[in-house]
Amino acid sequence: MSGAVLQVGPLLPALQTEITAEFAARRLPDDGTRAAFLAQFGAGIRLAVTSGKVGVDAALIDALPNLAAIVNFGVGYDTTDVGAARARGIGVSNTPDVLTDCVADTALALLLDVFRRITVADNFLRAGSWSAGNFPLATRFSGTRIGIVGLGRIGGAIATRLEGFGCTISYHNRNAVPGSPYAYAASITELAAGCDALVVAAAGGPDSERIITAEVLTALGPRGYLVNIARGSVVDEPALVDALLAGRIAGAGLDVFADEPRVPAALLGLKNVVLLPHIASGTHETRRAMADLTIENMRSFQADGTLVTPV
């Protein structure tokens, strides 16, 4: 296969360097020169490489008449218009599996933090408050009931880790997972009502937008915690803020937000919320593995028109 390669949005610096050297990738301008760039180079582009944060929308797909594949650096690809791509016969790939362990580790870190109040205790000590008295008691995590929304690769890895803490695990998917040892809940509301913490590991996209509703949060209850390492779009963020401020849930651990990097100001002053800047997969090892798989997909497409990890 032949044809030019287009980079859409920023990528890991090492990956940018590699795809420029190996594939002579051109970066799509982010300024007023984009239209002129596409008029000059758009017809020659056959492969686009992007990230889950930026993606390739329908308008850009329309501007690339000979585009044949979109390679996504990241497991999430909801920012790419997959429907528009498939309508044109354009292949789309992502980087699954290689970030599963680190994202699952982060989910466990957030669960432990919100139950045991690790971050709050750290701030308590640093502020010199220990000299005035002991830190307030927290909540035991081992043996709790944990509900997982989305028992895919990452959800399954989270469940495996939870077994080591003696947790009772239940889950909700569109359909029950054949052979799963965990209890299946027919709805997210039902799942939330029967657990001490709800972990969101569902894929992003139109089908999962705001599936964590005010009703779900009410079912979770004033002693329940929400942890989200999926996509900010999966949670009704205003409803979550309201539930936290009103004490309708006990707390939350959030790695993702609806309008990143903007975070609701009301969350910043809450001691029962742990906030992370979308770092669940942010380790040297995972980023390198993601970059390697991105390049594998690009090489495969350039060689014979196939993708190693199509979605």
* In the chain, beta strands by DSSP E: 4-7, 26-27, 45-51, 69-73, 91-93, 145-149, 168-172, 183-184, 197-200, 225-228, 251-254, 273-275
Q: Is 132 exposed, middle or buried (0-12, 13-18, 19+ CB in 10 A)?
A: exposed
- Options 3.90.1330.10, 3.40.50.720, 3.40.50.880, 3.40.50.1820; CATH of 100-275: 3.40.50.720
Contacting residues for 50 by C-beta, under 8 A, at least 6 apart: 7, 8, 9, 11, 56, 70, 71, 72, 73, 79, 80
pLDDT at 223: 98
Catalytic pick among 140, 163, 223, 260: 260
What's the CATH code, domain 4-96+285-304?
Answer: 3.40.50.720
Establish whether 260 is a catalytic residue. Answer: yes
What tens digit of pLDDT does each residue of 209-235 get?
999 999 999 999 999 999 999 999 999
- Local structure of 256: helix, strand or coil: coil
Helix axis angle for 118-126 and 100-116, nearest 10°, is: 60
- Confidence band of 18 (pLDDT split at 50, 70, 90): very high
Q: Which of 183, 196, 200 is nearest to 146 (CA)?
A: 196
- Active-site residue among 46, 117, 231, 287? 231
Structural domain spans, the chain = 4-96+285-304, 100-275
Cα distance between residue 87 and residue 83, in whole Å:
6
Question: In the β-sheet with 91-93, what is the strand arrangement from edge to edge?
Answer: 26-27, 4-7, 45-51, 69-73, 91-93
Residue reference for tokens 């990528």: 11
Shortest CA distance to 193 belongs to which of 217, 169, 161, 158?
A: 217
* Helices and strands in the chain, H and E counts: 12, 12
23-47 pLDDT, tens digit each? 999 999 999 899 999 999 999 999 9
**CATH fold match for the domains 4-96+285-304 and 100-275:** yes
Whole-model pTM: value is 0.90
Annotated catalytic, 34? no
- 71-80 average pLDDT score: 92
Give the model's pLDDT for residue 1.
Answer: 45
For the question of residue 231 being annotated catalytic, the response is yes
- Enter the tokens of residue 278: 């979308």
